[in-house]
Amino acid sequence: MRIATWNVNSLKARLERVSGWLERVQPDVLLMQETKLSDADAPFRELERHGYQMAHHGEGRWNGVAIASRVGLTDVVMNFGEPLRAPRTSDVGDDEPLAEARMIAARCADVRVVSIYAPNGRALSSPFYLAKLEWFGRLLRWCRQACTPEDALAIGGDYNVAPADVDVWDATACHGGTHVSPEERQALKALLGWGLVDAYRRLHPEQHRFTWWDYRAGCFHKNQGMRIDHFFVSAPVAGRLVACEIDRTARKGKPTPSDHAPLVIDLDTPGHVFDAGWGGAEARR
């Protein structure tokens, strides 16, 4: 089974790209983040045209997560099984992540998959950063309450945290900001300590492989990015891993791509062959 995760940075704006990517890479399950759609506006028919059921948890212009599957989709859980909290303020931000559509889970075939979009955090010590840490704590509590490490579990998505210095293009330049702080990294370590494995690092020790690049200053072409999109998987899933790849090719070309690249894992047998496009990036290093 092939499972992928992708922060699409607006499913409406990237629908043509997502449709083409489904044909090119042929995942059995695709987790999406930052769909920026309400449930009523989600493109269920387009996904059905490609053979996928979709469950969507959205709120409109911001956030939004989804799961598309062609191997079954049952036992859907949104927002940790709780109603979204009513926002205390009317302004848009990520200081109230439990009032935002950031988590959806479902059973696809024999794996429970979870699509997450962690808050950005914005600036250290800000309310947004503190809310980010609170949200990771809520994710860990859900894992402890609703799952066990013996379950076949794959939590994929935009974690907005680079686990280690090798996961950023320049550790010196990045330190002092969000995505690399000790507290954020500790939140990831707590998830791993509960009983999960970083699927990409299990198979890829190399540096300079990223999932996100800023649109500005030619960062993508310079390969100045961060590895902030992950699959954290339980031991039963880790034992089935045969491949894991970041599809850098999906970050190229027109129409304007998402600033994130998809991350793909294969379980049991290799999936459809595709060119992930890392040759040129390695040459530029």
CATH number at residue 177: 3.60.10.10
**Residue of 58 and 86 predicted with greater confidence:** 58
Q: Are strands 111-117 and 153-158 parallel, antiparallel or unpaired?
A: parallel
Number of domains in the chain: 1
Name the β-bridge partners of 224.
Answer: none
Which helix (H) or strand (E) is 22 found in, with range?
Answer: helix 11-25
pLDDT of res. 91: 66
- Given the DSSP bridges, would you call strands 53-57 and 74-78 parallel, antiparallel or unpaired? unpaired
Round the average pLDDT of the chain to a whole number and report it. Answer: 95
Please write the tens of the pLDDT for every residue from 2-16.
Answer: 999 999 999 999 999
Percent of the chain with pLDDT over 90: 91
Q: Taking the CB of residue 195, how many other CB atoms lie within 10 A of it?
A: 18
Q: First and final CA of the chain: distance in angstroms?
A: 33
Region 137-164: what's the mean pLDDT? Answer: 98
Whether 142 has a pLDDT exceeding 70, the answer reads yes
d(CA 62, CA 60): 6
* CA 208 to chain centroid: 19
Confidence of residue 284 (pLDDT cuts 50, 70, 90): very low
**pLDDT band at residue 95, thresholds of 50, 70 and 90?**
confident
The three-state secondary structure class of 73 is coil
pLDDT in tens, 208-253: 999 999 999 999 999 999 999 999 999 999 999 999 999 999 999 9
User: CA 210, CA 225: separation in Å to the nearest integer?
Assistant: 6
**Residue indicated by tokens 């509590």:** 141
The rounded radius of gyration (Å) of the Cα atoms in the chain is 17
Q: What are the φ/ψ torsions at residue 164 (nearest 5 degrees)?
A: -150, 170
Of 238 and 281, the one with more pLDDT? 238
Indicate the SS3 state at residue 5: strand
| pLDDT (0 to 100) of residue 285 | 45
State how far the Cα of 202 lies from the Cα of 192, in Å rounded to an integer: 12
- Is 112 in contact with 155 (CB distance < 8 Å)? no
Residue 273 CB burial class (10 angstroms; 0-12, 13-18, ≥19): exposed
Q: Which domain holds residue 264?
A: 2-284
